[in-house]
Amino acid sequence: MEAQVATSAFERVAKRIESYRQWAIDLQTKLTATRALDPASGGKGEAVKEALIRSLLTELGVTEMETLTSPVEGASACPRPNLVARFAGKDRKRALWVMSHMDVVPAGDLKDWDSDPWTVRVEGQRIYGRGVEDNQQGIVSSLIVARALRDEKVEPPCDLGLLFVADEETGNTKGIQYVLEQKQIFGPSDLIVVPDGGTPDGTFIEVAEKGIGWVRCNVRGRATHGSTPDKGVNAHRAAAHMIVRLEQLHERFNKRDEVFDPPSSTFPVTKVDAGAPNVNTIPGEHTFYLDCRVLPDYSLDDVLAAIGEITSAVDREHGTQTAISLVQRMDAAPATPTDAAVVHALKRAIKTVYGVEGKPGGIGGGTVAACIRRKGYPVAVWAKLDETLHGPNEYCELDNLIGDAKVFAHILLVTMA
């Protein structure tokens, strides 16, 4: 009987969600116009967008609401607010949390856009504009669930928590990291979903991330004229030997984990800094970079040590000196178990709403979910996305936005019943 009641409530709410398509477009239009850019990108932070969302939550009858603003330096510094909202359910000790971020990336070259990136353009079922997929699809879909519950007068079996954070695009220190330092948001029985990553078919549930190390290798030799190479120490030649030998990293760190795609650690050479300015000079300096994506089985410190051993061996052979430094480091967070409650809840909801089988997996990039996992909470990153984020003509499929709202409603009303 309880299962039938839960299913009936979900069906009512899902039907109501379908009726909000124009409201979703209108809300996307308002959110896009706020230009919630990081100050480093010439923006004024998330304050305007936070105020807009706060007013919407008030209209929707939020039970509890709090803004946690990260401290900023200087009289002209921009506020970086984080908004925590909670709608009461029957069991106040449990909650489904949906966390989205308010900031967006810059539009880039306006010539690459077919229309003004800060003014929503609608073509069929597609909503175009900067931020509409990353991460306003998550913002709007979560707000739609709250509105449907209100309009259908459905009391959920537990609380619905909505968290809107700042600073996701530029490091999270003023966003979710600050929130978790200031307040215990999540409880042991809560389910946490971050709709900030996914695939066009909606099957991928991100539960793990590799460690990331951007490594700078600065090789120093001795410059000389190109006609007398023996009088110099060719840093470029030594670096070429290093790059080849660094392939040994794949042999040293050779474990595989099929949860990830690709299933192994990767160490590609990427950027190379400019060397000698002319053809007839033997370069005395050469700098190249590795983008290391390392399975959680390994420590980034061990990888750095291995890189140092390889480059030192080449230095001894070629008479060069190489300095190794980290440009960026993000150690792998503990993975969310593939059999975690939030994963099961998503798989069940995805099957109901989209008719496909959800599959948990890991990625080589880093997401905001890592901050939550480091605090010991299992969290899943999921949404149905066409993955147009960060590019020109970013768009959100309206069907995806509406469908995602139904997925969250199913978890709340059926799985958590």
Instruction: Please confirm, yes or no, whether 168 is among the known catalytic residues.
Output: yes
Q: What gap in Å lies between CA 344 and CA 354, rounded to an integer? A: 15
Cβ of 269: how many Cβ atoms within 10 Å?
17
The answer to whether the beta carbons of residues 65 and 81 sit under 8 Å apart is: no
Q: What gap in Å lies between CA 122 and CA 34, rounded to an integer? A: 18
- Of 159, 168, 257, 394, the catalytic one is 168
Contacts 24+ apart (CB under 8 A), 384-387: 384/198, 384/199, 384/200, 384/201, 384/202, 384/354, 385/133, 385/137, 385/197, 385/198, 385/199, 385/200, 386/133, 386/200, 387/133, 387/198, 387/199, 387/200
- Of 38, 50, 103, 159, the catalytic one is 103
The answer to whether the beta carbons of residues 223 and 286 sit under 8 Å apart is: no
- Distances in Å between the alpha carbon of 220 and those of 69, 233, 311, 314? 46, 8, 12, 12
Q: What are phi and psi of 401, to 5 degrees?
A: -60, -50
Instruction: Please confirm, yes or no, whether 112 is among the known catalytic residues.
Output: no
Active site residues per annotation: 103, 168
